[in-house]
Amino acid sequence: MELEDEYKRGTVKNISQKMIDYCFRDCEIVYKALLETFYMAGCVRLTAASLALAYFRNKHLSYEIKFEREKTDLFFDSYFGGRVEAFRLGNVLCNKYDVNSEYPYVMSITQFPHPSHLEIKNCPSKSFLTYAIKFFEGMGKFVVKHKNTFFGSLPVKLNDKLIFPTGIFSGHWNFNELRFAIEIGYVEILACEYICYSQRLLKTPFDNYVKQLYKVKQTSKHEAEILKAKIFLNTLYGKFGEKLKYETMYLPEIDFDFIELLKKKDRFIEISLFSQDRKDCMITYKRKKDEQVKHAIASFASYITSAARIYLLKNMLENESKGICYCDTDSIFSSQEINFVDNGQLGEWKLENDKVIEIRGNKNYTYTSNKEVIKKIKGVPKGAEFHNGVYLYKALVKSKLGLRKKN
């Protein structure tokens, strides 16, 4: 089979008919899998997260969720990622415990501030603020005094890193996270600039979505179905906190002047080459201004992530005497055994077979698995080679970038 020059890619020669047949078969498998997923979601979308959102809306949401964007967008200020902290560095011998689907679990049990009944109150009185935090849901900007504890309880962004300080500091936090910090006696509110709250609470709309997909994940005998359920479970919440921060552009030839201009304006993110023999590329850069997306309801995404941090901290505090050395979003490393109950249920903790033997920092540690010693470093794949202080590896251009290229 001879391809036209414009469709040729790479430098592979002597392609056999058997290889071509395998390629066609692989394409058929991918096509059928995608078609089944599109039918499941009720539409065609480009990404797994977009399909998860469509599936939730088309198959599990029985009513329209109305919201006032100006108010729900305030929750972007209290929207933070997972908690990652190294409490001990160097050689260790730790057990690793993970939550069974932490984010889906908190999605299925969390009460949210109702997005269509949000109110804003500036400089609320101490009595009203105390009442609101106890009985309502919302967020606000506060100054707090945090006790000098081993584990901090409130997140703060510093130099693009999420930290959990003690002492006197300010920030934007959701009521659920602030309420927990107050209940355990860690935090005292010194001042409040404003709150955005709802007296009417919204029962989670995600319960049926989570339970149905988790059942598929636990009981299906087909790996593809299990993977699909896992991806749908873990990607939905992020769509509600989505902002279009970056733009991806196809360049028929690398434009070094354009790239240098983007770098000078601090807007350059990355360049992705298709192969070492091609001159074209994809570049990703920051937009001049974040673009809102119509499906974003930041109060959902913000409350889900804060609920996950609460769940993690609660379990860390309950097992502080077990020598907690490290945490990462939905996992705990401890030097002593923790007697978690694990029946495979949503939100339960399970003991992994891995043993962590060295912690070098956040998302940077070494563990043993089946007698193999493995270094885990964020952004560095397992097969990377280390040369002269640098990890080297090859990476394919992701399908999303390839599909979006512009001629």
Inter-residue contact 202 to 115 (CB < 8 Å): yes
Give the domain range for residue 397. Answer: 243-292+385-403
Q: How confident is the model at residue 407, as a pLDDT? A: 42
Same domain assignment for residues 103 and 182: yes
Question: Measured between alpha carbons, how far is 384 from 377 in angstroms, rounded to an integer?
Answer: 10
pLDDT digits (tens, 9 = 90+) for 207-256: 999 999 999 999 999 998 999 999 999 999 999 999 888 888 889 998 88
Residues with pLDDT less than 50, the chain: 1, 4, 6-8, 403, 405-407
Q: DSSP characters for 155-222? A: -EEETTEEE---EEEEEEEEHHHHHHHHHTT-EEEEEEEEEEEESSEE--S-HHHHHHHHHHHHH-S-
Give percent of the chain with pLDDT exceeding 70. Answer: 94
Query: Is position 40 within any domain?
Result: no
Our count of domains for the chain comes to 2
Say yes or no: 364 and 254 in one domain. no
Q: Is residue 1 part of a domain?
A: no
In a domain, 304, yes or no: yes
Q: Are residues 83 and 198 in the same domain?
A: yes
Per-residue model confidence (pLDDT) at position 1: 43
> Inter-axis angle of helices 298-318 and 223-239, to 10 degrees?
110
The 10s digit of each residue's pLDDT in 83-139 is 999 999 999 999 999 999 999 999 999 999 999 999 999 999 999 999 999 999 999
Cβ 339 vs Cβ 350: under 8 Å: no
Instruction: Kindly report the three-state secondary structure assignment for every residue of 126-150.
Output: HHHHHHHHHHCEEEEEEEEEECCCC
Average pLDDT, the chain: 91
Question: To the nearest whole percent, how much of the chain has pLDDT over 90?
Answer: 71
Whether 376 maps to a domain, the answer reads no
Contacts (Cβ under 8 Å, ≥6 apart) of 216? 225, 226, 228, 229
Residues 128 and 183 occupy one common structural domain: yes
Same domain for 249 and 199: no
- pLDDT for 7 equals 45
With respect to residue 123, please indicate whether it lies within any of the assigned structural domains: yes
**pTM of the shown model:** 0.84
Collapsing DSSP states into helix, strand and coil, what is residue 61? coil
CB atoms within 10 A of CB 226: 15
Same domain, 196 and 264: no
- Do 177 and 316 belong together in one domain? yes
Spatial distance between the Cα atoms of 175 and 258, rounded to a whole number of angstroms: 45
Same domain, 86 and 175: yes
Q: Give the pLDDT confidence score for residue 381 in this predicted structure.
A: 85
Asked if residue 254 and residue 317 are part of one domain, the reply reads no
Burial of 91 (0-12, 13-18, 19+ CB in 10 A): exposed
355 and 320 in one domain?
yes
Q: Produce one character per residue of 378-387: b if its CB has 16 or more CB atoms within 10 Å, e if not.
A: eeeeeebeee
Nearest to 137 by CA among 153, 124, 118, 155: 118
